[in-house]
Structures are given as C-alpha cells and as structure tokens.
C-alpha cells in the first residue's frame, strides 16, 4: 500500500467507536439480566409442567420455584453482564486514552517546533578543503584532558552491616491419641 491509498486519520472514528462500546456495555447488562431471568423462570416452572411429577418438589410450590428461578437467573445474568460490560467500558477508555495521548503529543510537538527555529540558527554544512598533492597529511586535534578519577570514601566511613540473628523454632511434637479399645468400638 502506498501512502496515497491509505485513509486519512480521523479522530471522530475513535470517539464514535468509544460511544458504541459504552452503548453496547449498557445494553449487554440489560440483555443478560433479561435472558438470565427468562432461563431461570423456565427452569423454576418445571414443577408446573408434566415433568414436575418426577421432581421431589410438589406442584403447589411451582409458582414459588418459578419466581425464585427468575430472580436467581436475573442475578446470575447481572453478574455475567456486568463483568462483560466492564470489558467493553475498559476497551472504550483505552481507545479514548490513546486518542488523548495523540492529542497531547501533537500539541507538544507543535510547541517544540515553534521554539526550535527561534533558538538555533540554521547550520550550513561546509565541505573540507581539497588536499593538494604532495602536502603533508592533516594533523588530528589534540585530545581533551580527562578529569581525574573520583576517589571513593575510605572503608572506615561506611558503617558495618549487622545481620540479625537467625532463630530456629523448636520442633513441635503432635500428641499421640490414646489407643482404641474393643470396648469403646462396640
């Protein structure tokens, strides 16, 4: 792919992506609760059907099991939906964070570029003069003097490291249970 065939960068696409993820997150919680409540109610209604004859729950409690199954299924649906929606919200926040990072970087680059030309004049590259045949070879400039090495503090200035004593715990013996007699067993 060449640079001319690539699409232009548009921040609105990322913002729209984040909005869609937030909508998806809230819809997922509601959908999960509804599906969980419906499945729970369906399982709770089994005592009201002909399958309820083989269950140990009497059909008199059928409406109670229907209600409890719906509530229990709704709670499970909420837990699953909330966990999944958190992932969607996290993905949306990651996209928005990357967008804000790009904006901050662009602003910083513009500020640096505005200051750089004002501080430093443009440098011109000068070619070295051509060497004449028969001229002596150029002499390298002398090396700068190196700073003297840093001396370390004498060993007496460093306090000695004191190791804490190692305490070995005393072994603990488990109590021996009394023998079982035949009179106790019968």
Tens of pLDDT, residues 1-54:
566 777 888 889 999 999 999 999 999 999 999 999 999 999 888 777 776 667
pLDDT at 96: 93
> Would you put residue 179 in left (φ > 0), alpha (ψ -120 to 50) or beta?
beta
> 57-79 pLDDT, tens per residue?
776 777 888 899 999 999 999 99
> 126-148 pLDDT, tens per residue?
666 666 777 777 666 666 676 66
pLDDT at 165: 76
Structure tokens at 11: 């921040």
The band of 177, judged by pLDDT with boundaries at 50, 70 and 90, is confident
> Which of 50, 47, 87 shows the shortest CA–CA distance to 69?
47
pLDDT at 88: 94
The band of 114, judged by pLDDT with boundaries at 50, 70 and 90, is confident
d(CA 49, CA 8): 61
The band of 85, judged by pLDDT with boundaries at 50, 70 and 90, is very high
pLDDT at 141: 67
**Burial state string for 85-116 with b = 16 or more CB within 10 A and e = fewer than 16:** beebbebbeebbeebeeeeeeeeeeeeeeeee
> 146-164 pLDDT, tens per residue?
666 666 666 555 566 677 7
pLDDT at 64: 87
């Amino acid at each position: 792919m060449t640079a001319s065939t690539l699409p232009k960068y548009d921040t609105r696409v990322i913002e729209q992506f984040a909005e869609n993820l937030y909508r998806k997150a809230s819809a997922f919680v509601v959908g999960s609760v509804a599906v969980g409540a419906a499945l729970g109610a369906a399982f709770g209604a089994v005592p009201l059907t002909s399958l309820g004859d083989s269950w140990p729950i009497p059909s008199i409690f059928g409406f109670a099991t229907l209600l409890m199954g719906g509530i229990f299924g709704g709670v499970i649906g909420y837990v699953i939906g909330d966990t999944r929606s958190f992932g969607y919200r996290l993905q949306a926040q990651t996209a928005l964070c990357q967008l804000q990072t790009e904006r901050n970087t662009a602003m910083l680059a513009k500020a640096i570029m505005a200051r750089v030309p004002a501080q430093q004049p443009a440098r011109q590259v000068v070619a070295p003069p051509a060497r004449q045949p028969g001229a002596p070879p150029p002499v390298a400039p002398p090396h700068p003097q190196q700073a003297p090495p840093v001396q370390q503090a004498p060993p007496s200035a460093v306090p000695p490291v004191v190791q804490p004593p190692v305490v070995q715990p005393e072994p603990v013996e488990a109590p021996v249970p009394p023998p079982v007699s035949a009179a106790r067993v019968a």
